[in-house]
Amino acid sequence: MIKIATKRENRKYEIASQQSQTDSDIETLNGDIEQNQQNITASKNKINSLKAAQALLKKKQTAIQNGTFKLAKVTKSTQITHKN
């Protein structure tokens, strides 16, 4: 953000070609900021998802250790046949 503010401030002292490059640089920096924010949001969501999975695994581990863990009941039986 400071970098963008500095570029905007210095832009008024530049010639046209430099201003064009500065505008491009600012646009690139803004795009980078937006992409970084999206990456941060996605990472936070992934962390929350992994924490939930970890909590479930800890719960299962505790149940296994104290002998209360039960496998899910099978609702359908599947038969596999091989044809020669």
Q: What is the pLDDT of residues 11-38, one digit of tens each?
A: 999 999 999 999 999 999 999 999 999 9
Q: Is residue 79 part of a domain?
A: no
- The total of structural domains in the chain comes to 1
Q: Is residue 21 part of a domain?
A: yes
Query: What pLDDT, on the 0 to 100 scale, is given for residue 73?
Result: 73
For residue 32, the enclosing domain spans 2-63
pLDDT > 70? residue 82: no
Q: Is residue 33 part of a domain?
A: yes
Q: Is residue 28 part of a domain?
A: yes
Alpha-carbon dihedral angle through residues 40, 44, 47, 49, given to the nearest 10 degrees: -130
Query: What does the alpha-carbon distance between residue 22 and residue 35 come to, in Å, rounded to a whole number?
Result: 20
User: Which residue bears the tokens 């581990």?
Assistant: 61
Query: What does the alpha-carbon distance between residue 35 and residue 46 come to, in Å, rounded to a whole number?
Result: 16
Query: What does the alpha-carbon distance between residue 22 and residue 41 come to, in Å, rounded to a whole number?
Result: 29
pTM attached to this predicted model: 0.63
Q: Is residue 78 part of a domain?
A: no
